[in-house]
Structure 1
Amino acid sequence: MTNIVVPTEASAASVGWRLGALYGPAIYGVSAAAVALPVAADRLHTAPATAVWILTIHALGLGVGAAVAGRATDIWGPPRTLRLGAALLAAGATLCAFAAILAVAVAGRALLAAGSGAMTATALTLAAGRPATQRPAVLARLGAAMALFSATAPLAGALAVTTSWRAALVLPALSLAALPLCWPLAQPRQRVQARVDWIGAGLLVVTAAGLLLTIQSTALDFPPPAVVGLVAGTCALAVLMDRHRRRHPDGFVPAVISQRRFVLAGLAGAGVYGGLFACVYAVPQLLTRLDYSAQDIGLLLVPSAIVAAVAARLAGRASGDAARRQVLVGVTALFSVSLLLAAWNHRPVALMGAATVGFAAFAIAQTTLTAAITAGVAPRQRGGALGLLNLMFFIGGAVGASACSALWQPWGLPVALAAVAALPAVAVVGAHAALSKAE
């Protein structure tokens, strides 16, 4: 059943901030939880290398959950997707609150990630479904909120750990607090009969999971035979999914993913996310070497959040593809240069400068590319398209963090940070092409 959202009389600013509050806590799932990882490993009686599954499962579940939930909003409508996401968040938070062993904590985090995926996908779908006159302003506020959550994640994690390490793990459940604010925006006005493509959904889930696990295989210390098997299996599943999509163009995997503009937009967003995830991973490490505490690092990032939020709002005022392209390309190029500068000069001002530009590029890319794809996708496939676009972004983020981690040991963190500066550079090319005149 497909639900079409009724535009309300709420102002664009109000809608954007409310949807940002629904989306934002999902960002805390990795950056904030990472602060609690050493304590969690000790309390769960496991090695830190094994406890990294607490972070990995969230990245995996969030990406897959967003892709599946995006299409679910097309088929079942936002209200039902929000109810499912809320149930998953509540169940995951409960498991984490009482987990005494790693397996239970990982299961709880998996449910939290899936619930967060539902919340993020629904937030983007609702933003994209606003009237064309409101949409740019709504997306600008949504991007500003995302920048605020991204930059405050380390501080939120550090403050939560002072209460309990479990509190840092369940921060994504804060999306539940925004649910009453967003529920009026998700009310349906029409129901259209639709058939659920369960085979397509299953192929999407396992293919995305295989791809994300392949990217994380270095951090997870998978043996070479397992990595080879994982790559082969993921490639085979991708081929099957593509064949299924061609035979069922109106199925769970929308046909829009084969469009040139969609692929380029995904490439651009993936490059920005990759650079940001690597930056968020490396900058705290480098600041820690300069004797900054977790709370100090979190406080240092607060001005970055403010600057990025303001930049996202200003970028939202750009009208037309040409103006948006210039803004995104310029900020993304600056992000690549700032990463190179931070790798060369480890002073706090250079590190915080890279983080600030990264958060701004992240927010602007999310809102600009979402608007570009929304304009070229039919409403009945919009949620699925945005969910898959978000999955591509998260895959890029996983690549950036994994590459930075893998290069750190043999070459050092500065070299690793300089290497991942190539990801925003690739995003410059993708953004320029994606925001050119649609074919």
Structure 2
Amino acid sequence: MTDVLVRSPARSWALALMLGSASFLVLFDSLAVATALPAIGDEFGLRPGVLQWVISLYSLSIGAFLVLGGRVCDVWGRRRVMLAGLAVCTGAGLLAGLAPNLPVLLAGRALQGMAAAFALPAALSAAGGEFDTEPWRSRVFSVIAFAAWSAGLAGAMLGGVLTTRLGWRWVFLVTVPVGVIALLGARILLPRDRPGTASGRRLNATSAVLVSSGLVVLLLGLQENSPLLGLGGLALLALMVVVERRSAHPMVNPGLLASRRRAGSYLAFGTYCAGYTALVVIGSLALQERYGLTADAAGLALSPVLVGGAISSTLAPLLMRRFSARTIVVTAMALCALALTLIALSDSVPQLLPWLLLWGLASGPIFVGLTRECISDAPEDDRGTASALFESMSHIGGAIAVAAFMTMLGAGIAFRPVELTGAVVVAAGALLTLLVVPGRRS
């Protein structure tokens, strides 16, 4: 029996919006906090190098615990994990907003990141599991994508307003009522986890420790540009692979990566995220250093990306009904590569704006198409892990791209060649999708 037969349209929309709230909480927080950093530094008397950990610790926590979070969803049940993740994330936001000193603030940020690493794969796996027929299968991922892009826009726009009018603490505190509403919605709308989740499989404690510690060390090495830490992280992950091959209960079912559809989609999303890093991180630096904009003005100049992403996310389900996911993703990634190329070749801020909007308009279908390919068709008992691997492409792929692009800038390479390199990576992702992901009409 499908979701259409057992759930009214109103309840379906309510469930989809609740699942989108997890993405909203994570991305609003990550972008809004950046605008509050100067005020936090002034109150606690922090140097910029120390202050950066308010953001970095959050990102590290998400990236390090995503795979574990996805596996826990499969073993313990996505409803339980979703409720726990939202509760901890909401409480951690309150802790950060009321923090009397830096250690408490950092503790709140670490908890927020860890909770998000569990809540995000739970939301994506629930979307794939609860909506198994069209049009809702594409529609729910469209809602989640819209929530993510809207959160980015709201964070970029409202972060400075909240900090200026109410104080930096409200950047954290404003997420608390949203978290409470999402928590209540999840409790009411998500069906109870079925008995015997994951067919009696257990969580491999050794693999869990190795994957999380390995990702922490690897991401820290990328962030700090430390080859020694990076190699240490890779060594821990390699050891995890050895343990996994001998385990009766591996963290990642090898069958997930044996599928051309999923493996190709993961790689495609990783290349897209690398290009997005060139667009946003390198692009923001270029706007400030090349065109003389302030940090706030640079953020405002990049807002067409977020506007375009929010618009195209709502239109993606219409495309998914007419064309295969591969056709949509290949076309959209080619447009992103073109947009980034034209951005790199532009000579003024007004020239950039239409190409920034083009990137955003092409991005919504990429997210909707790839999430559907990676998650909807994953085995029920591995859907949380499949969701976590997809999200990892954003955090880990983005960290690798930042390290690579910043190294290029540090070596004296100009902004334009770095941005063009990002465009080449996205174009390669489009070609990879065409060659690897099987075609299929939706």
Q: TM-score range by the shorter chain?
A: 0.7 to 0.9
Among the aligned pairs, what percent are the same residue?
Answer: 23
Q: Alpha carbons of 1:98 and 1:397: their partners in 2 closer, same or farther (altered >3 Å)?
A: same
Q: Is the 1:155–1:295 contact (alpha carbons within 8 Å) kept by the matching residues of 2?
A: no
How many Å separate the matches in 2 of 1:172 and 1:413? 35
> How many angstroms does 1:360 deviate by?
4.0
How many Å separate the matches in 1 of 2:206 and 2:34? 35
Q: Where does residue 45 of structure 1 map in the other structure?
A: 45
Q: Alpha carbons of 1:419 and 1:437: their partners in 2 closer, same or farther (altered >3 Å)?
A: closer
How many Å separate the matches in 1 of 2:37 and 2:179? 22
The alignment of Structure 1 onto Structure 2 pairs a total of residues equal to 425
The answer to which of 71-80 and 258-267 deviates more is 258-267
> Which of 199, 217, 227 lines up with 2:206 in the alignment?
199
Q: Where does residue 236 of structure 1 map in the other structure?
A: 235
> How many angstroms does 1:379 deviate by?
0.1
Q: Alpha carbons of 1:350 and 1:431: their partners in 2 closer, same or farther (altered >3 Å)?
A: farther
Give CA deviations for 1:254-311 in whole Å, capped at 9, x if unaligned.
2234325233222111111222233222444444565666665565555544432232
Q: Is the 2:32–2:156 contact (alpha carbons within 8 Å) kept by the matching residues of 1?
A: yes
Q: Where does residue 251 of structure 1 map in the other structure?
A: 250
Structure 2: gaps spanning 5 or more residues: none
Q: Is the 1:155–1:294 contact (alpha carbons within 8 Å) kept by the matching residues of 2?
A: no
Q: Where does residue 224 of structure 2 map in the other structure?
A: 217
> Which of 172, 179, 183 lines up with 1:179 in the alignment?
183
Q: How does 1:31-430 map to 2 (within 5 A)?
A: 31-129=31-129, 130-133=131-134, 134-162=136-164, 163-168=166-171, 173=176, 174-188=178-192, 190-192=194-196, 193-218=200-225, 227-248=226-247, 250-261=249-260, 262-288=262-288, 304-319=305-320, 323-409=324-410, 410-430=412-432
Give CA deviations for 1:230-273 in whole Å, capped at 9, x if unaligned.
23322221222112222235433222343252332221111112
How many Å separate the matches in 1 of 2:396 and 2:174? 22
> How many angstroms does 1:434 deviate by?
4.5
Q: Alpha carbons of 1:35 and 1:405: their partners in 2 closer, same or farther (altered >3 Å)?
A: farther
Q: Is the 1:119–1:175 contact (alpha carbons within 8 Å) kept by the matching residues of 2?
A: no
Q: Is the 2:128–2:375 contact (alpha carbons within 8 Å) kept by the matching residues of 1?
A: yes
> How many angstroms does 1:177 deviate by?
3.4
Q: Alpha carbons of 1:406 and 1:28: their partners in 2 closer, same or farther (altered >3 Å)?
A: farther
Q: Is the 1:109–1:169 contact (alpha carbons within 8 Å) kept by the matching residues of 2?
A: no
AA matched with 1:371: R
Query: What SS is found at the alignment partner of 1:191?
Result: coil
Q: Alpha carbons of 1:287 and 1:63: their partners in 2 closer, same or farther (altered >3 Å)?
A: same
Q: Alpha carbons of 1:158 and 1:423: their partners in 2 closer, same or farther (altered >3 Å)?
A: farther
How many Å separate the matches in 1 of 2:143 and 2:263? 25
Q: Is the 2:219–2:399 contact (alpha carbons within 8 Å) kept by the matching residues of 1?
A: yes
How many Å separate the matches in 2 of 1:287 and 1:316? 34
> How many angstroms does 1:81 deviate by?
0.9
> How many angstroms does 1:107 deviate by?
2.0
Give CA deviations for 1:13-55 in whole Å, capped at 9, x if unaligned.
4443332223222113332222222332333222212322222
Give CA deviations for 1:179-213 in whole Å, capped at 9, x if unaligned.
32333332215210442322222222112222222
How many Å separate the matches in 1 of 2:350 and 2:17? 30
How many Å separate the matches in 1 of 2:343 and 2:191? 46
How many Å separate the matches in 2 of 1:94 and 1:230? 33
The answer to which of 370-379 and 396-405 deviates more is 396-405
Q: Where does residue 224 of structure 1 map in the other structure?
A: none
How many Å separate the matches in 2 of 1:171 and 1:19? 19
Q: Where does residue 29 of structure 2 map in the other structure?
A: 29
Structure 1: gaps spanning 5 or more residues: 1-5, 219-226
Q: Is the 2:306–2:360 contact (alpha carbons within 8 Å) kept by the matching residues of 1?
A: yes
Q: Is the 2:71–2:384 contact (alpha carbons within 8 Å) kept by the matching residues of 1?
A: yes
Alpha-carbon RMSD across the aligned residues, in angstroms, is 2.9
Q: Is the 1:315–1:324 contact (alpha carbons within 8 Å) kept by the matching residues of 2?
A: no
AA matched with 1:149: A
Q: Is the 2:201–2:249 contact (alpha carbons within 8 Å) kept by the matching residues of 1?
A: no
